[in-house]
């Protein structure tokens, strides 16, 4: 009899932190750390596919990253362009549907066209939804969603905002991982991470391998997700009627 597949989180989100420190420790330019980070990301996508994870969302460039030295910013833009030409054929071959999430207006027209083309060419893939957050910030997302509703004259409710957010095409993340040892969310998925399980890894992103991902998943499995309820309620042992329930 086949061994049952262990439960994995459906949606994993990652703050890929520590590329710069990885490079600095080796007396290398920071951009070498970002290149190594891209390799780590490619491995991570493969690992998610192998583990049956349905959605992967990563923080590749934050709204605040424009404040970095200009050579690092242009290096990250080049890396984005390179990742499109290098990785899209293999993403397609593996059934990965790619989405770029964030404010594209500040990106060059050439990069914007490349992002749109990559999304279009992977749109019918179904195995893994892969969201790359680029020029993204959680506050930007909430503000753009509110602006969208206001411009249409729609009421602002939790549901309408949720549907206007940049990640409306996927359910909220079950597991949010941050590498690099910092204990912060740093303006990532502020709305969507309301009930995500958080996992902080000391590993720098280029060193975050399959074993580190498996450890995060194993920790996730030990967590009790209550979504505001009690332990008895979520375990099905509480028969007290909920008088407010419809």
Least distance to ligand FPP, CB of residue 138, Å: 15
Token pair, residue 143, equals: 């503000």
Token pair, residue 175, equals: 């597991």
Q: Which of 17, 141, 172, 174 is catalytic?
A: 17
Q: Which is nearer to ligand FPP, 21 or 51 (CB)?
A: 21
> Which residues lie near ligand FPP (CB under 6 A)?
16-21, 34, 37-38, 41, 60, 65, 76, 79-80, 83, 132, 180, 205
Token pair, residue 37, equals: 């980070």
Name the nearest CA neighbour of 198 among 226, 211, 179: 179
- 17 annotated active-site: yes
Q: Which is nearer to ligand FPP, 11 or 178 (CB)?
A: 178
Q: Which is nearer to ligand FPP, 12 or 80 (CB)?
A: 80
Least distance to ligand FPP, CB of residue 245, Å: 44
Least distance to ligand FPP, CB of residue 96, Å: 13
Name the nearest CA neighbour of 166 among 236, 101, 111, 215: 101
Count Cβ atoms below 10 Å from residue 232 Cβ, excluding itself. Answer: 11
Q: Which is nearer to ligand FPP, 58 or 217 (CB)?
A: 58
Q: Give, in order, the Cα–Cα distances in Å from 17 to each of 60, 117, 176, 201, 243.
A: 9, 28, 13, 10, 46
Specify the DSSP class assigned to residue 147.
H
Specify the DSSP class assigned to residue 158.
H
- 78 annotated active-site: no
Q: Which of 65, 92, 94, 125 is catalytic?
A: 65
Which residue's beta carbon is nearest to the bound ligand FPP? 20
Least distance to ligand FPP, CB of residue 72, Å: 8
Token pair, residue 210, equals: 């399959």
Q: Catalogue the active-site residues.
A: 17, 65
């Amino acid at each position: 009899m086949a061994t049952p597949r262990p439960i994995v989180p459906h949606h994993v989100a990652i703050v890929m932190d520590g590329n710069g420190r990885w490079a600095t420790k080796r007396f290398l330019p920071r951009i070498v750390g970002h290149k190594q980070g891209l390799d780590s990301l490619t491995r991570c996508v493969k690992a998610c596919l192998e583990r049956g994870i349905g959605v992967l969302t990563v923080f590749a460039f934050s709204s605040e990253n424009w404040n970095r030295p200009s050579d690092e910013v242009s290096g990250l833009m080049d890396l984005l362009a390179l990742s499109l030409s290098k990785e899209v054929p293999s993403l397609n071959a593996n059934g990965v549907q790619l989405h770029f999430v964030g404010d594209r207006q500040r990106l060059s027209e050439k990069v914007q066209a490349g992002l749109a083309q990559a999304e279009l060419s992977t749109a019918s893939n179904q195995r893994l939804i892969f969201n790359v957050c680029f020029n993204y910030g959680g506050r930007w997302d909430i503000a753009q969603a509110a602006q969208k509703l206001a411009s249409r004259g729609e009421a602002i409710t939790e549901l309408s905002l949720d549907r206007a957010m940049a990640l409306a095409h996927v359910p909220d993340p079950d597991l949010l991982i941050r590498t690099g040892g910092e204990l912060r969310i740093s303006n990532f998925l502020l709305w969507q991470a309301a009930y995500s399980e958080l996992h902080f890894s000391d590993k720098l992103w280029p060193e975050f391998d399959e074993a580190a991902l498996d450890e995060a998943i194993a920790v996730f499995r030990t967590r009790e997700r209550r979504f505001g309820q009690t332990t008895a309620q979520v375990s099905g042992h509480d028969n007290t009627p909920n008088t407010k329930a419809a």
